[in-house]
Amino acid sequence: MTDGMSFTRISSGGPWEDRYGYARAVVAGPHVLVSGCTATVGGEIQHVGDAYNQTLTAISIALDAVEKAGISISEIVRTRLYVVNADDFEAVGRAHGEVFGTVRPACTSVQVAGLVDSRMLVEVEVEAYRGEETG
């Protein structure tokens, strides 16, 4: 039951979305929920071995989805950072801080055993809230 709430699914055009049955982002009323993003562009992993630049790339992909939802970075309220190597937390946090330093969303950072490709060092999730539903 949706109680009249509308849902919009946003695609990035990536091959896995159709294959595995998910959307890059879902807009549910005032909420925008962005799926985990890695530094994969055009099917190729970018910045192999560089957690800092992988984080910036993953955040850029997430922000593109937020923009497609019609909202701004200032409306991001939560981020999650899944990091494979504990030694990379500083680089990942620094990249996150450069992008979100003035926004200051709630953030969870977790070390994970691995991601689907061993060259992926970080995965980023983003949630936004637009305050008032428009349209």
- Confidence (pLDDT) at 135: 47
The residue ranges of the chain whose pLDDT is under 70 are 1-5, 132-135
For each of the domains in the chain, give its residue range(s) and CATH number, in order of start: 7-129 (3.30.1330.40)
Residue 19: per-residue pLDDT: 86
What element of type H or E holds 95?
A: helix 89-100
* Model pLDDT, residue 1: 36
* Token output for 11: 């695609």
Instruction: Output the six-digit token pair for 37.
Output: 């993003």
What confidence score (pLDDT) does residue 4 get? Answer: 57
What is the rounded distance in angstroms from the CA atom of residue 132 to the CA atom of residue 124? 25
Q: Is residue 75 within 8 Å of residue 131, measured between CB atoms?
A: yes
Q: Which residues pair with 37 in a beta bridge?
A: 124
Q: Whole-model pTM?
A: 0.91
